[in-house]
Chains A and B, each alone.
Chain A
Amino acid sequence: MANTETLNRRAPASPLKQFAQRLEVRMLLLALLIAVCLSFLSPFFLTKSNIFNLLDQSVVIGIVAVGMTFVILTGGIDLSVGSVAGLTGIILGLSLQHVPIVPAIGIAVVAGGFIGLISGTLITVFGLAPFVVTLGVMAIGRSLAYIFSGQTAISNIPEAMQNIVYTDVLGIPSNVLFLIALYAAAWGYLTYTKGGRTIYAVGSNKEAARAAGLNTTFYSILPYVLSGAFAAVAITFSISQLLSADPLMGNQMELDAIAAVVIGGASLYGGRGSMIGTLIGVFIMVMIRNGLNLMGVSPFWQGTAIGTIIILALLVERLVSSRISR
């Protein structure tokens, strides 16, 4: 019968091969390899304080990377997260002068989401290219951050903000706990809900998704809204640590976030990627930066080092994956 014939054409791979075929698994191995290398290069790398330091540094970029993963899954890109973070940081700083902490954070997050709504609508409804729209929003956001702040940092932030970061729950800092909870929620959303599956379907084949009755317009806009809102959440953690809001905050944050998502195995064409992959990507980025600092590499050389490592990682991955899937 024709059916059995088609089934036999491709024998199922062995469990080990199937495991190795998962990109996240290979990237996890890469992360461990980097960790081992760095622990040889610097005796401080594997100390308890440095590990907490690593986790702490992962929080801000990690939160931004969640929104970025959603956007990239639909086949889009959001270049504006860095400047939206800067702008919403200033909005938060200004709001704190007038209202209590919780509503102030609320205002900043809603503002971030609103900016995302504008980008998402321009991209989805008017068919503009995501790259161009978010590039424009990036310029506008940074400019407004300077104007609203009067070109100086806002430093009279209430000290109670620090509780957001420095409250320990069961020995784990609250910001790290928030990051873990956020990734768990995002993973659950993408895996088990109609919206999450629609986001994958939109990125993989938008026309087919629409023909199957999925609301492709709504779920193409939503990721940009989340991306803007998460940029505001991320900068809230930064400001809580520094007790200062600077218009320059979040500068080039989009590059780190996109790099983390791509290292985590997402396809820039959409439809492929996962929260676990992104989390590993975030750790790889943070570890490399941290390791370079520990080794005393000049900040001017760090960009060269990070860029080289990202490109090498993806190149090796491409060569390995074509070998494995054969």
Chain B
Amino acid sequence: MQPNTAPLAETGHTTLLTARDITKTFDRTRALQGANFELREGEVHGLLGANGAGKSTLSKVISGHYTLDSGELTYRGHEIRLRSTRDALRIGIAIVMQETSLVPDLTVLENIFLPELGRPGRLDYSELRRRGQEILNDLGQGDSLPFDWEVRRLSSAQKQLVEIAKALGVRAKLLIFDEPTASLSPGEAERLFDIMARLRSSGHGLVFVSHRLEEVFAITDRVTVMREGRTVMNAHPTATLSQAELIRAMVGAELGAIYERGESHHVAETDAPVALEVRNLASAPAVRDVSFSVRKGEILGIGGLVGAGRSETVEAIFGLRPRTGGEVTLGGKKLRADSPQTAIRAGLGFVAEDRRTQNIVPDLSVKENLLLAHLGAHRGFFCSYASREKKVKELLAKLGMPEDRVADASMLNFSGGMQQKIIIARWLLLEPDVLILDEPTKGVDIGTRASIYAMLRDIAAEGVALVVVSSDFEELLGLSDRVVVISDGRTIADLPSAMLDEESLTLLAAPRTSMVRNTEMLNGLAREHGGSGFWALIEGERLICLNAVVSNPALDPGFRAGQARELGATQIPEALRRREPIFVPEADRSRTTLVVPMTSPRGHDLGWVGLSLPADRPLPAPDTIKSRIDTMAATL
């Protein structure tokens, strides 16, 4: 064996873990197909990717939850084979997940030292307490955990701290944080970053899996980006990256050919009657303020990241989840929210996200599964299956399933794609006015996907309004006429898909911790000076507006939050093109605009902030505006 000659001073650059060409297949879905990853001691390494890119799978391979199919894991210079999370923990690899590995009925102390409880012999509680205190002190959190409380009484931030302490209790050297800030308030997230910084300086290697780009820029040293199970950007220093580069790496390739919609693209039918209208819908805690409408024959996509409240929104519309505000109108009539039965009888259909737990009734035959929504909508004592006999035959023929061979078979004998088609057919049988589909191609192989898309397009062509929720932005853009983006439980954009691409969609969907403070600042600027303010990303000739505040209607910049525009199509092309540190008047002299870059404390481009004012009034000094923006940016 090669002796370890690396001098101690260089520990900051000692490689802790390398993963090479990792593959992992579930059923027939290839979650990882050649993933590479490298982590050093004393670094925070961001692991990024769109929904389903494989970042969670890779984390779980490294932490021993999944065994890899092929590839090589090297940890501290030795090749390792992990058969369980216990194997991983023993050598010092731990994953910090949300609450999942804690025992709610045991105390904080017992949870931190849970692995010790499995050892023979007596437990020395005072010794454990001393060690627990030591760990918390090292994290700078000396008094933030009551050791004697049961874990169920803790807040989610505290539970996370227990998870971290537990990992350190077994002397973990490598910690994986999987979406650690998802359920934290901004203050709590700050504290977490402080903890992570301390762990980094004590030589731990940290993997940070997150959707939130701002946090990635704030805390990570290097970044690895995954797409479709492959590593597309390997260990790139964060300091030399821009947001746009990162997003381009996450989104990658062009739209696939499977979305050929040909001439059937029916954007023209914007005068069709509105089939479903949702106004200010709320369903605590996940859905806060969602509004959109769909016309007959239209396919509306609902996009957003996992956890943005998309599924909760459609479940609240359908009556599966109590509403706490807002209203839903179906075909001009108000839809009460009491039960799915009400919604179904009013003409709504819903293919829920999880096929196995929310759609399939495994002990009933294919035929009865097909007829299940009929049974739900039917009034009467008997089943009246015969009344649908003809339509069932028709649908089964359309699905390519000979009735005599499949009608009595179990649903579980079929592939995921076929099951999904049967579930969709379940609703078509009722001829609904509006059909909502939550992740209709989840776990479906690529070939069947194309036929599901064709099926959905046919349904829309018959005049049914479709609402499709999807995490796959490529699918969303290829399939829908219009896309509504939901982030943190609110609709933040409603745009024709022709105006969007995956990049702008990714940008719009990303939850922004800075949004609140930014809106406050824009409001302040616009009101004090009697103008309008905006925050936008500008790339070449194109602008994507992240936020806009208009206090003076005459000064509308020509775009709203969530919209993408060519610079020439806005009201302020001159200022946007020049972007100089002075107020730039437009050609018609009606207004003058200052456009200032916004930069994060670590020097990253966060886009541009603009302020438009009437040209006929005395202007404030550009520097005071600029310093105000810089002050705000410095706190991000």
Q: Are A and B interaction partners?
A: yes
Min CB distance B379 to A, Å, is 9
> Do residues A205 and B375 form an inter-chain contact, with CB atoms below 8 A?
no
> Do residues B414 and A6 form an inter-chain contact, with CB atoms below 8 A?
yes
> Do residues B341 and A215 form an inter-chain contact, with CB atoms below 8 A?
yes
Pick from A46-54, A191-199, A242-250, A290-298 the stretch touching chain B.
A191-199
Roughly how many angstroms separate A197 CA and B374 CA in the complex, as a whole number?
Answer: 12
Q: Is B634 an interface residue (CB 8 A)?
A: no
Roughly how many angstroms separate A205 CA and B361 CA in the complex, as a whole number?
Answer: 5
Q: Is B382 an interface residue (CB 8 A)?
A: yes
Roughly how many angstroms separate A205 CA and B372 CA in the complex, as a whole number?
Answer: 12
**Chain B residue contacts of A1, Cβ below 8 A:** 400
Contact string against B for A residues 194-237, beta-carbon threshold 8 Å, 1 for contact and 0 otherwise: 11011011011101111111110000000000000000000000
Q: How many A-B residue pairs have CB under 8 A?
A: 106
Min CB distance B319 to A, Å, is 9
Q: Is B51 an interface residue (CB 8 A)?
A: no
Q: Is A2 an interface residue (CB 8 A)?
A: yes
- Count of interface residues, chain B, beta-carbon cutoff 8 Å: 45
> Do residues B340 and A211 form an inter-chain contact, with CB atoms below 8 A?
yes
> Do residues A194 and B380 form an inter-chain contact, with CB atoms below 8 A?
yes
**Chain A residue contacts of B405, Cβ below 8 A:** 7, 12
Roughly how many angstroms separate A1 CA and B377 CA in the complex, as a whole number?
Answer: 34
By secondary structure, the A interface counts as: helix
Min CB distance B225 to A, Å, is 32
Q: Is A76 an interface residue (CB 8 A)?
A: no
Q: Is B363 an interface residue (CB 8 A)?
A: yes
> Do residues A2 and B417 form an inter-chain contact, with CB atoms below 8 A?
yes
User: Which residues of B in the span 355-405 have a Cβ within 8 Å of any Cβ on A?
Assistant: 357-364, 368, 372-373, 375-378, 380-383, 399-402, 405
Q: Is B352 an interface residue (CB 8 A)?
A: yes
Q: Which of A10, A211, A215 contacts B358 (CB 8 A)?
A: A211
Q: Given A193-B382, A211-B320, A271-B363, do A3 and B372 touch, yes or no (CB 8 Å)?
A: no
**Chain A residue contacts of B343, Cβ below 8 A:** 213
The CB with the most chain B CB atoms within 10 A, among A9, A195, A205, A209, is that of A205
> Do residues B373 and A205 form an inter-chain contact, with CB atoms below 8 A?
no
Min CB distance B455 to A, Å, is 12
Roughly how many angstroms separate A201 CA and B592 CA in the complex, as a whole number?
Answer: 67
Roughly how many angstroms separate A203 CA and B362 CA in the complex, as a whole number?
Answer: 10
Q: Given A211-B358, A214-B375, do A272 and B406 touch, yes or no (CB 8 Å)?
A: no
**Chain A residue contacts of B339, Cβ below 8 A:** 210, 213
Roughly how many angstroms separate A108 CA and B207 CA in the complex, as a whole number?
Answer: 68
Q: Is B451 an interface residue (CB 8 A)?
A: yes
> Do residues B363 and A213 form an inter-chain contact, with CB atoms below 8 A?
no
Roughly how many angstroms separate A139 CA and B255 CA in the complex, as a whole number?
Answer: 67
Nearest-CB residue, chain A, relative to B430: A213
Q: Is A4 an interface residue (CB 8 A)?
A: yes
Nearest-CB residue, chain A, relative to B354: A207
> Do residues B361 and A211 form an inter-chain contact, with CB atoms below 8 A?
no
> Do residues B377 and A213 form an inter-chain contact, with CB atoms below 8 A?
yes
User: Which residues of A in the span 7-42 have a Cβ within 8 Å of any Cβ on B?
Assistant: 7, 9-10, 12
Q: Is B350 an interface residue (CB 8 A)?
A: yes
> Do residues A209 and B382 form an inter-chain contact, with CB atoms below 8 A?
no
> Do residues A205 and B362 form an inter-chain contact, with CB atoms below 8 A?
yes
Q: Which of B361, B402, B415, B417 contacts A208 (CB 8 A)?
A: B361
Nearest-CB residue, chain B, relative to A12: B405
Min CB distance B191 to A, Å, is 36
Nearest-CB residue, chain B, relative to A206: B361
User: Which residues of A in the span 55-91 have a Cβ within 8 Å of any Cβ on B?
Assistant: none
Min CB distance A222 to B, Å, is 13
> Do residues B344 and A271 form an inter-chain contact, with CB atoms below 8 A?
no
**Chain B residue contacts of A201, Cβ below 8 A:** 361, 364, 372, 375
> Do residues A197 and B358 form an inter-chain contact, with CB atoms below 8 A?
no
> Do residues B380 and A212 form an inter-chain contact, with CB atoms below 8 A?
no
> Do residues B352 and A211 form an inter-chain contact, with CB atoms below 8 A?
yes
Roughly how many angstroms separate A89 CA and B548 CA in the complex, as a whole number?
Answer: 76
Nearest-CB residue, chain B, relative to A191: B383
> Do residues A200 and B414 form an inter-chain contact, with CB atoms below 8 A?
no
Roughly how many angstroms separate A12 CA and B426 CA in the complex, as a whole number?
Answer: 24
> Do residues B399 and A3 form an inter-chain contact, with CB atoms below 8 A?
yes
> Do residues A271 and B362 form an inter-chain contact, with CB atoms below 8 A?
yes
Min CB distance B436 to A, Å, is 11
> Do residues B375 and A198 form an inter-chain contact, with CB atoms below 8 A?
yes
> Do residues B447 and A197 form an inter-chain contact, with CB atoms below 8 A?
no
Q: Given A7-B405, A210-B320, do A2 and B451 touch, yes or no (CB 8 Å)?
A: yes
Q: Given A10-B413, A210-B340, A215-B341, do A194 and B361 touch, yes or no (CB 8 Å)?
A: no
User: Which residues of A in the span 144-202 have a Cβ within 8 Å of any Cβ on B?
Assistant: 192-195, 197-198, 200-201
Roughly how many angstroms separate A134 CA and B70 CA in the complex, as a whole number?
Answer: 52
Roughly how many angstroms separate A271 CA and B411 CA in the complex, as a whole number?
Answer: 14
**Chain B residue contacts of A9, Cβ below 8 A:** 413, 415
Instruction: Give the top 7 A-B pairs by smallest Cβ distance, nearest first.
Output: A213-B376, A3-B400, A271-B363, A204-B363, A213-B344, A213-B341, A212-B372
| CB<8 Å pairs between A and B, sample of 30 | A1-B400, A2-B418, A2-B451, A3-B399, A7-B406, A9-B413, A193-B381, A193-B383, A194-B381, A197-B364, A197-B368, A197-B383, A201-B361, A201-B364, A203-B363, A204-B363, A205-B357, A208-B352, A208-B361, A209-B361, A209-B372, A210-B339, A211-B320, A211-B352, A213-B343, A213-B344, A213-B377, A215-B341, A271-B361, A272-B363
In the complex, besides A200-B361, A212-B376, 18 extra interface pairs with C-beta distance below 8 angstroms are A2-B418, A2-B447, A3-B401, A4-B400, A9-B413, A9-B415, A192-B382, A200-B363, A204-B364, A207-B357, A207-B358, A208-B358, A208-B372, A209-B372, A212-B340, A212-B372, A212-B375, A213-B343
Task: Name B's A-contacting residues (CB within 8 A).
Answer: 318, 320, 339-341, 343-345, 350, 352, 357-364, 368, 372-373, 375-378, 380-383, 399-402, 405-406, 413-415, 417-418, 426, 445, 447-448, 451
